[in-house]
């Protein structure tokens, strides 16, 4: 019985993430981005973001969390964003953006993590976004236009 309850909880938890990822793709498209959800993103060591987006010459790799009041992004997940951008996207770093996105009820908060932190090996153990925080990235910015 316990295993069945755990399976139901896991399914519900995964659906929340899937829902938030799809909502973010639609939000990005509304603001003029070309965006796709990467359906094979998973908790493995593969350097894959939840969502990849492009606007002008700028490429964005998003890690997405759905939460009530706060969201945590472990260092390993942030590192995967940079590895994806570094290994697979042939562009200058000023055009590549690693972004953590927290879906907190009806509110979205975005925080871009700086390349210098990753290059110096100084990524924090985890990034926390609280509902009362302010993000440091604006989706409405005219990247490359």
Answer yes or no: are the C-beta atoms of 98 and 78 closer than 8 Å: yes
pLDDT, mean over the chain? 86
The predicted model scores a pTM of 0.85
Considering only CA atoms, which of 68, 145, 77 is closest in space to residue 111?
Answer: 77
- Per-residue pLDDT reduced to its tens digit, 75-108: 999 999 999 999 999 999 999 999 999 999 889 9
Instruction: Spell out the domain ranges in the chain.
Output: 2-130
2-130 folds as Trna Endonuclease; Chain: A, domain 1 (3.40.1350)
Residues of the chain short of pLDDT 70, as ranges, are: 1-17, 40-45, 142-145
Alpha carbon separation from 64 to 56, 99, 121, 127, 144 (Å, rounded): 22, 9, 22, 12, 24
């Amino acid at each position: 019985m316990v295993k069945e309850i755990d399976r139901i909880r896991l399914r519900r938890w995964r659906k929340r993430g899937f829902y938030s990822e799809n909502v973010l793709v639609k939000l990005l498209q509304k603001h003029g981005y070309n965006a796709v959800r990467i359906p094979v993103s998973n908790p493995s060591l593969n350097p894959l973001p939840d969502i990849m987006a492009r606007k002008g010459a700028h490429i964005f790799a998003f890690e997405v969390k759905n939460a009530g009041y706060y969201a945590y992004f472990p260092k390993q997940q942030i590192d995967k964003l940079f590895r994806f951008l570094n290994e697979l996207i042939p562009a200058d770093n000023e055009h590549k953006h690693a972004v953590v996105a927290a879906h907190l009820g009806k509110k979205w908060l975005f925080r871009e993590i700086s390349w210098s932190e990753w290059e110096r090996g100084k990524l924090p153990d985890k990034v926390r976004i609280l509902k009362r925080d302010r993000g440091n990235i604006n989706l409405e910015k005219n990247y490359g236009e």
